Amino acid sequence: MTAKATRTTLPRVWTLAWPLILSNVTVPLLGLVDTAVMGHLPASEYLGAVTLGATLFSFLYWGFGFLRMGTTGFAAQAHGRRDADALRLLLAQALCLAGGIGVALILSHPVVVPAGLAVLDGSERVTALADTYARWRIASAPAVLANYVLIGWFLGLGRSRVTLALMLVNNLTNIVLDLWLVVGLGWTVAGVALASVIADYLTLAVGMTFALGTLSRLGGHLHWRRLLAPARYARLLHVNGALFVRTLCLLFAMAFFHAQGARLGDEILAANAVLMQFVLLTSYALDGFAHAAEALVGRAVGRGGRRHLSAVVHAATIWSLAAAASASLGFALAGEWIIAQLTDIENVRMLASTYLPWLVVMPLVAVWSYLLDGMFIGATRARPMRDTMILAVLVVYLPAWYLASPLGNHGLWLAFTAFTAARSASLALVFRRCGYGASWLPRGAAGGRRTATASATA
């Protein structure tokens, strides 16, 4: 691998990443509008109900985020091979899988929704309003999951600007409908939910229009026998199953953090919620470069080019480290100012400032987990992602929290930082053992036969 190859790849990583970073930034904008609209209604229960319902669906839908991640890797590899038939089949299979899961969620909502709201444990009035929100919102399940597939497929093709367009369509439509249905027509929580449902289906329609146009340019044919053959779904389900377990573990880790913070008191819970916005800010940039790595690593694996793969790894690492270092420096210099913009409550500000050093360190610890996740997703090597996540939760996170619990909230942040470091270190170890990605390439393409260790690890 030459320095020249890395230099020529650096702009390609940025070209893919910047629309993804920008699309990530649009997500909190919708949350701010939802909060502002509901916050101006006469009773606080409306805001609480939407917050409760939105939390439920964030966990419920993102539990199936593997539909995005798994699709990206397979699409990138097929694109690298210039296999238009495989791209068509993948899109059709993944959309069928998303539709089936979405319909199953709608049919099971009489059980799933009450159970989820019971776990969130709101007041009786808030829970009743959240139930109204949820019974409208569940109708969007097939569209939300299909949109995951479309975004993953376009990422695999390197069409990050299309994903930005889809996010803008979804969020801007949602905002306009929020204002019309809630402020204009007075539909309260049902209006917020219906706005999301309409926005999701409109995004699906726009996404399918883009997809059909892309397929017409790619050519190829969809083989219906392959689409209907259960055996053809085996590899897709194998990868997605591992990603599903990995996502559940991550959701558990986040829920556990918030639950333990709540046990330390309302002000600690509020301070941690403010500081978690720093984690989200970091993720906007790091996710963008990780998604770019997914597409470019997958394409390199599909082509079987070791030099190209090595250049992608180096370029994505440079961009990710630059973003992480910038975030750490920004938090160190402006962290207290950011906290002041997020809350007016003096005690919460003071507490958040006390624990701010953990957030200064966090980007430099977390960058490797974001970056390596992207590389493993691009290579469709989901098993190491699942196994290292389970290891980080069970062997590091929970024991570290137990041992550090006498330190209070410092102990909780210590455990969360150790969990993040364990994810990064264990994925890095696997990546090193598989020859820095060389064993992901077809036999012979990586400059020799795979070793037994590398094959087993990958």
pLDDT digits (tens, 9 = 90+) for 210-243: 999 999 998 888 877 777 777 777 888 888 899 9
pLDDT, averaged across the chain: 86
**231/236 Cα distance (integer angstroms):** 10
**441/262 Cα distance (integer angstroms):** 47
- Kindly list the domain boundaries of the chain, sorted by start residue: 1-25+237-458, 41-228
Per-residue pLDDT band at 35 (split at 50, 70, 90): low
| CA distance readout (Å), 147 to 94, 150, 153, 205, 408 | 11, 5, 10, 9, 41
Average pLDDT over residues 128-157: 92
pLDDT at 418 over 50: yes
Q: Give the pLDDT confidence of 266-286 residue by residue, as tens digits.
A: 788 888 888 888 888 888 889
**Residue 43 confidence (pLDDT):** 62
Report the predicted TM-score, pTM, of the whole model to 2 decimal places: 0.86
Q: Give the pLDDT confidence of 361-405 residue by residue, as tens digits.
A: 999 999 999 999 999 999 999 999 999 999 999 999 999 999 999
**Residue 453 confidence (pLDDT):** 33
Instruction: Return the closest-CA partner of residue 200 out of 141, 132, 131, 135.
Output: 141
pLDDT at 455 over 70: no
Q: Give the pLDDT confidence of 93-125 residue by residue, as tens digits.
A: 999 999 999 999 999 989 988 888 887 666 777
Instruction: Return the closest-CA partner of residue 374 out of 427, 433, 333.
Output: 427
**Residue 448 confidence (pLDDT):** 40
**431/240 Cα distance (integer angstroms):** 20
Instruction: Return the closest-CA partner of residue 454 out of 431, 422, 424.
Output: 431
pLDDT at 174 over 60: yes
| 24: enclosing H helix or E strand | helix 3-39
**27/32 Cα distance (integer angstroms):** 9
